[in-house]
Structure 1
Amino acid sequence: MITPEEPAGVAWHIRAKSADSNGQCVEAGPLADGSGRVAVRRSRRPEAEVIVYTRAEWEAFVGGVKGGEFDFPAG
């Protein structure tokens, strides 16, 4: 984890439908240092902790989402 002050220059991205979920979303964006790392934070608490993933970790996560690994049953 890094402090909220460290990811200066992150181009934060948030899901387009985030307004539908009462702000219970996360934002993600690449660090501006050219390392390929990706920062993630809660959209409702941008001043709180920021978690940083390596490019490989982020790609594995996104691949898992696209592949249905996180399609948990409702309820």
Structure 2
Amino acid sequence: MSETHETLSPQERSRVAWHISTYSPNNGGNCVEAGPLGDGSERVAVRHSHHPDAEVIVYTRAEWEAFTAGVRNGEFDFFPR
């Protein structure tokens, strides 16, 4: 993946429909949020939930789909259960 680090303006950030996984700990755990940019570009922004105004990583639709397919297939199961 060739992610792009971008600083989104407050207006651009307001268009992102941020999502946090339902699997994220609700006790103040470190979480990531992701959402479509909402500008018609089919890009997805990712940020740290504790630092919502910090830099975000932006992925193309193809990059995001490749990543989520890998998650579903267990390619990122780094820790034994």
Identify whether the pair has TM-score above 0.5, normalized to the shorter chain.
Answer: yes
Structure 2 residues without counterparts, runs of 5 or longer: none
Letter in 2 for 1:3: T
Letter in 2 for 1:64: G
Following superposition of structure 1 onto structure 2, how do residues 1-75 of structure 1 map, counting pairs within 5 Å? Answer: 1-5=5-9, 6-18=12-24, 19-20=26-27, 22-74=28-80
Change (3 A) 1:2 1:13: same
Between the aligned residues of both structures, percent identity stands at 64
The size of the alignment, in residue pairs, is: 73
Using structure 1 for the length normalisation, give the TM-score: 0.86
| Pairwise CA RMSD | 1.5
Q: Give how far 1:67 is off.
A: 0.3
